[in-house]
Amino acid sequence: MVSRADGPGPSAPDEGFDADELREAEHLLSGTGSGGDGGITVPWPLLFRHRMHHKVAGSDRYQWWVLWTVLAGLLSVNITFTVFVVALPEVARQLHSTVTTLTWTSTGPLLAFGVAAPILGKLGDLRGYKRLYLWGLSGAALSVVLTASAPTAGVLIAARLFDGVQGAATGAASMALVLQAFSHEDRVKAMGWWALVGAGGPVLGVTIGAPIIQFYGWRALFWGELPLMAAAAVLALIVLPSHDRAATTAAEAQRRTGRSDAPVPEPLDPAAPRESPWGQLDWMGSATLSGSVTLGLLGLNVAPSWGFAAPKTVALFVVSAVLLVAFVLHERTAPRPLIPLHYFRKRNFVFPLGARAMVNFAYMGGFFLFPILMERIYGYSETSAGLLSTARPLMFSLSAPIAGYAAVKVGERWSIVAGAGALCVSMLVFTQVGADPSVVLIIVALALSGLGNGVSTPSTASSAANEVEPDELGVMSAAQLLITQIGIVAGIQTMVTVQASSHGGTGDLASFHTAYLVGALVAFVAAVCGFFVKNTQRGSQAVPIDVPAH
């Protein structure tokens, strides 16, 4: 027996293996498999994985094993992101290119992510999240090899573009795996740990990676990622469950709705013929949504240099809007829509995603402006400004896990409101800094910014996910990550453009005040969105149910 508040509970011993694979393992273990003497030829990796998974899946903390496994993979792929951006001047010198050209190593992956995320997220729903996750890790390893050995700037940019595609695979699949493993009530805790790695990984990368780049070069940084990815892949093969779509069992249906009389989908029959997942994909929906997001992100990226009112910029935004309208019209009649539109009528789906986008708008806009402010206005060195900047992601990573547990007590609504409010206060502090600000005040403002994002992120992620059907977690995880990236790009480009175009440009302190005021207003709107989020029901709503064996 397991209650809805306790989550799915321990897995059955055979969970994590396809039916054919399990039958073969049982034959081999019993000596009835093929071979010269009835099972003499034994594929020991399969048996080892079967036995190890049997032990792990039998634990009453199996969902936490899934979480730590997924976070190990995320850490292995995001640890180099920030430090590589810092190393771009040296990379440009070695490859006989320019920093301006190599900025595509940062913006290119965002665009590639926008193209790939919807279709890969849906593919995970159809083919299994573990499989998609392993594909993503394999792609990440290939991207690392191409990056570390890139002979020219063009090859390097292509490698990083491919990195954006694998990021869509690992990001969507890993979030879906975690959300699937935890009950609705405990998802906010898991998302707190998720946010810790998301924010803390790049900080750790700067701490470890900077000396590596200094003494061994930037290529060594990426070669050092390969062992981490290999270890994460082995751990995933052992721990993660394979037949993800079995989540639509009676236990999952009742746990999701909180009703013991909830309609139960028919279990999947392994012997039944399966339609190709490629035939089940909503290609038109994927194309229109990916095109809309990609052109919108591209417009935001080029707007500061081309101008927001430039004909080419306006054309990108107009085509993006047209494709978005086409996506909505198509989804209304599609037999298998990529994202069912009825979700957008649910307040606990729309408002958490809105708050998430706006929080990231203000957070990353302020993050990008801060070193410019410190170097150009206050005369700080790059090293000093960078050291101060770490206060923000450090507080983010430290506060997120605590906030996940706190949200269980105070509710998601007040967690989002408090987080967005702290971020708003941080932006307002930066609108008031004078010609000779206190370093302590600056650190406090940075810490408030990190605290705001850390407190709000677990609740926005879990609240939106709790509105989604179990077999659509992949595409919805991709949608959450897309919303986050849209907020990030919009915040950076908008606040930088406002700062550069107001009160005399980059040398004027008042221009930074204006840009941070924009961030404060957006953070305030995020807090308003938080007021409309309903808390997840807990405690007395738990319904004891039987968990059927797979």
pLDDT at 215 over 60: yes
Q: What percent of the chain has pLDDT over 90?
A: 24
pLDDT at 275 over 70: no
What's the pLDDT tens digit per position in 60-114?
Answer: 788 888 899 999 988 888 877 766 776 777 888 888 888 778 878 877 787 788 7
In this prediction, residue 325 has a pLDDT band, given cuts at 50, 70 and 90, of: very high
Choose among 181, 183, 263, 248: nearest CA to 541. 183
What's the pLDDT tens digit per position in 37-73?
Answer: 544 454 656 555 666 666 666 667 888 888 999 999 8
> Which of 179-193, 254-268, 440-454 is least confident?
254-268
Average pLDDT over residues 264-287: 62
CA distance linking residue 282 with residue 63, whole number of Å: 31
What's the pLDDT tens digit per position in 457-475?
Answer: 999 999 988 888 888 888 8
CA distance linking residue 503 with residue 512, whole number of Å: 9
What's the pLDDT tens digit per position in 524-536?
Answer: 999 999 999 999 8
In angstroms, what CA-CA distances link 63 with 10, 180, 196? 8, 9, 17
Q: 3-state secondary structure string, 115-157?
A: HHHHHHHHHHHHHCHHHHHHHHHHHHHHHHHHHHCCCCHHHHH
What's the pLDDT tens digit per position in 225-238?
Answer: 899 999 999 888 88
Q: Where are the domains positioned within the chain?
A: 19-56, 61-257, 283-337, 345-537
Question: By 3-state DSSP, what share of the chain in percent is helix, strand and coil, each rounded to 5?
Answer: 75, 0, 25
In angstroms, what CA-CA distances link 40 with 26, 34, 278, 421? 13, 8, 38, 65
Q: What percent of the chain has pLDDT over 70?
A: 78
Domain 345-537 in this protein, CATH class: mainly alpha
Decide if 61-257 and 345-537 have a common fold. yes
Residue 185 — φ and ψ, nearest 5°?
A: -70, -30
What's the pLDDT tens digit per position in 131-144?
Answer: 899 999 999 999 99
CB 39 within 8 A of CB 28: yes
Residue 440 — φ and ψ, nearest 5°?
A: -60, -45
CA distance linking residue 64 with residue 387, whole number of Å: 33
In this prediction, residue 329 has a pLDDT band, given cuts at 50, 70 and 90, of: very high
- Buried b / exposed e over 229-255, threshold 16 CB at 10 Å, is beebbebbbbbbbbbbbbbbbbbbbbb
Total-model pTM: 0.78
CA distance linking residue 53 with residue 39, whole number of Å: 21
pLDDT at 386 over 60: yes
What is the CATH topology of the domain spanning 61-257?
Growth Hormone; Chain: A; (1.20.1250)
Choose among 163, 186, 205, 230: nearest CA to 397. 205
